[in-house]
A and B are shown apart, each in its own frame.
Chain A
């Protein structure tokens, strides 16, 4: 089955770029997602990328997909303190369920 891995922590200074990385094991995952979770809250969809794309940009967010290495990244430009949260990478799997990574906790220092 699919397995999704993420690094657990990232700390950046306000105004810097943040890059959150994710690897997955099954190349048949056709859609890959990034969700954001603030403390005590549900998951907010940030963006997604289809497996036939290499890059997707949406305002401050850039998603890069390397299918050969099964590596996905989320770059947040001009990171703000309000971006502090846990970021989850998720792969679309059989029947529509999402397989999530453990989450990367992003800490933004002023």
Chain B
């Protein structure tokens, strides 16, 4: 396994457009996490899945954001009606289930909203 992959690596869009990002976790991992990182800050938790179930969503995740993991493998994060404040790096991580299980991060998708 080559690790967590994310697609696309970069996305430039105009304000008001919808965007969708994909994350492919490490294949044996049943937990998948999404984080957002703005310039000069550490990553902030958005949401996570255990298999196909979305177990927690941060208050940062407004109703314009939706995430899915339909078959418990890859996940998508969609942002509707993008705003300039959505510009950030979106990071995906995966892990085994269990307390303290190490989260392995993908390379991220950098979003720029013009």
CA gap between A42 and B9 in the complex, in Å: 11
- Cβ of A30: which chain B residues have Cβ within 8 Å of it? 99-100
Give the shortest distance, in Å, between A51 (CB) and chain B (any CB). 9
Number of interface residues of A (CB under 8 A): 25
- Inter-chain contact A99/B102, CB cutoff 8 Å: no
A103 near B31: Cβ-Cβ < 8 Å? no
Residue from B40, B41, B103 in contact with A98 in the complex, judged by beta carbons closer than 8 Å: B103
CB distance B105 to A97 under 8 Å? no
Interface membership of chain A positions 57-80, coded 1 if the CB is closer than 8 angstroms to chain B and 0 otherwise: 000000000000000000000000
Closest to B55 in A: A95
Q: Identify the A interface with B (CB < 8 A).
A: 4, 30-31, 33, 35, 40-45, 48, 50, 88, 90, 92, 95-103
